[in-house]
Structure 1
Amino acid sequence: MIAETVCSAASAAGLGIAVVAAYRKRFLSAARIAAYALVPIGLVMTGVVGWLSDTAFSPTAWAGFGLLGVAWLLFAGTRAVERRRGGTRAERRAARGGRTEAVAPTASAPSLGAGAGPAARPAGPPRSSGSADDFSDIEAILKKHGI
């Protein structure tokens, strides 16, 4: 009952401030203040304030919030220990199994075409055709950025 009275008083005060703002020709500001002022009375009319006040003064609800906090701490604590130990259980099993190579060891190697391996690379620098300086500036930029 007290919460509903406080919300109603806050709404009335907000609407009074909105009227003063509208009187001073600040209509946009007055409309915004009126919107904020109508929220508490809307919450009272929907029953949210009654539910919140019943929850706030209920020892059972506070015990429930405490249990939720303990559960969250347990989740966070186990997560921190798991990170400190070196990953998930599956990652540790894979490490104990002796697998040391990557899943796709050639994934970072450049693609040279179908069936081309390390032996298929040309031995010398690439030959340039008649127009040697066409792409030299682009090559310089790519080399500068390590590409």
Structure 2
Amino acid sequence: MTSILILNGPNLNLLGTRQPEVYGTTTLGDIEAQCRAVAEDLGVTLAFAQSNAEGALVNRIHDARGTHHGLILNAGAYTHTSIALMDAISSTEVPTIELHLSNIHAREDFRHTSYIARVAVGVICGFGAHGYTLALQAMARHLETGA
């Protein structure tokens, strides 16, 4: 069965209370529950993880190789700074979708740069918590059709 890892980076454990005007009031637990329901409908298995540590995220990406068919990554602020995450994705060759709750292109200039996008099959941003289910559907389609 197709397996997809949804991996969340720094500060996403604070969703629901952290800057709700930017990130909404939905918690990471709520998002996981929504994604599990969609994954069941899609007939895929789902793993869900979060870490505030860059090295732990790199390790999870490495561990995805041979375990998961696809990766959905909300790297948070590491999106704009982490060559290590970019290299990990490139090295494992696990198809990856970059995901953000907010529209990073409508925010501060430093958020317009993404190292992850360079190695991702696509980017979803600006749809709040709904972006996770959009990314899950897009990944399942990508894995099924290659598009």
Per the normalisation by structure 2, the TM-score is 0.20
Which has the larger share of helix? Answer: 1
Tell which has more relative contact order, 1 or 2 (C-alpha 8 A, sep 6+).
Answer: 2
